[in-house]
Structure 1
């Protein structure tokens, strides 16, 4: 289970990106119309920088980035594996 601080960092980034709009942890950001290709690039760069991990090609599955929960789970798995 991801650490609450991981979700908090992701939530803060999303709030800034979406003009303060609050999202539920399981809200699908792409289905809600918030995600686009530029945002996806910014999100990956933020994740890599914020958590000091590397997102590789095998991680670039839409399911890993569709919600705060999904992103936090990906980050936690990368941190746990030391990647």
Structure 2
């Protein structure tokens, strides 16, 4: 995992735990299957990722599999972040 993705994972995890402090969440767990996601929170995740990481999520990246796990969201941020 790259440094950008590792940092992204930490920040995404912190965002989710800020909403669900009782959650015991690993980066590989499916947050949809765990019941933490509804349509409103899914949109909040999209907005959080765009604002926090300065990326725009193209429509073809708005797939549920890109948001199932912290690892998947980190990989998405990594793909959309321009290389230095």
Structure 2 length normalisation: TM-score?
0.89
Could you tell me how far 1:32 is from its partner in structure 2?
A: 0.5
Q: 1:65 aligns with which of 59, 64, 67?
A: 67
Q: 1:47 aligns with which of 32, 46, 49?
A: 49
**Change in CA separation of 1:2 and 1:14 when aligned onto 2, cut-off 3 Å:** farther
| Cα offsets for 1:25-70 (capped at 9, x unmatched) | 0000000001110000000000000000001210111000000000
The corresponding residue for 2:80 is: 78
Segments of structure 2 that go 5 or more residues without pairing to the other structure are none
Over the aligned positions, Cα root-mean-square deviation in angstroms equals 1.6
Segments of structure 1 that go 5 or more residues without pairing to the other structure are none
The aligned length equals 82
